Amino acid sequence: MASAGAGPFPAAATAAAAVAGASAGSVFVKRAGDARARFAEVEIFGADTVTRLAKRASLELDWHTSAAYVDLFLVPDGLVEVVQRNPAREADVLVDTNLCLATVLLAEAGIRDRSCLLARLSSPPAAAPGECARAARRLLSCLPSRGAGGARPGRAREIPSLSWAGNFAGRCARFL
């Protein structure tokens, strides 16, 4: 196993893996509902829970979501090839009997080396009305060119669009 921060994986994923124990091989995970996605290899560890695997898959496969919004479904051996060849058959896997419970160890969920899993991503709850505008105002008040508290409400369009703050505020400006 690589040391924390080394190798091709983000340091956070490597650190989480170190906590999970010795390597137990790898599984193949695919985002359900994405016709362009393919099964991708994700390393598993002896003491992993389904949540740790979901977190690692989200980091490594760049889904930009918390493990709290990832449901993993074990693809039964008889359906692996069918699902790989025909993504429309994912519905046959996304049933309660194949859902892996978040708190369960991989072995208890039947997940072993070379298993295939489908990941169903759900969206986090929508922000409360006005939340986007409040977040944009907080970002504006922290900009160095304005100084603390120097932003004027309703002026989000003044942020340069090349910065991450500008991109965020630009998207939220319509709410101001």
Length of the chain as a residue count = 176
Q: Which residue ranges in the chain fall short of pLDDT 70?
A: 1-20, 126-176
> Mapping DSSP to helix (H, G, I), strand (E, B) and coil, where does residue 25 land?
strand
Quick one: angle between helices 11-20 and 50-60, nearest 10? 160
Distance CA(41)–CA(28), nearest Å, equals 4
The answer for residues whose C-beta is within 8 angstroms of residue 4's C-beta and 6 or more apart is 11, 14, 15, 18
pLDDT of residue 21: 75
pLDDT of residue 35: 87
pLDDT of residue 123: 84
Strands 23-31 and 116-121: parallel
The DSSP call for residue 76 is P
Domains and CATH numbers, the chain: 11-121 (3.10.20.90), 131-175 (no CATH)
pLDDT of residue 53: 98
Q: Which residue has the tokens 């989000």?
A: 156
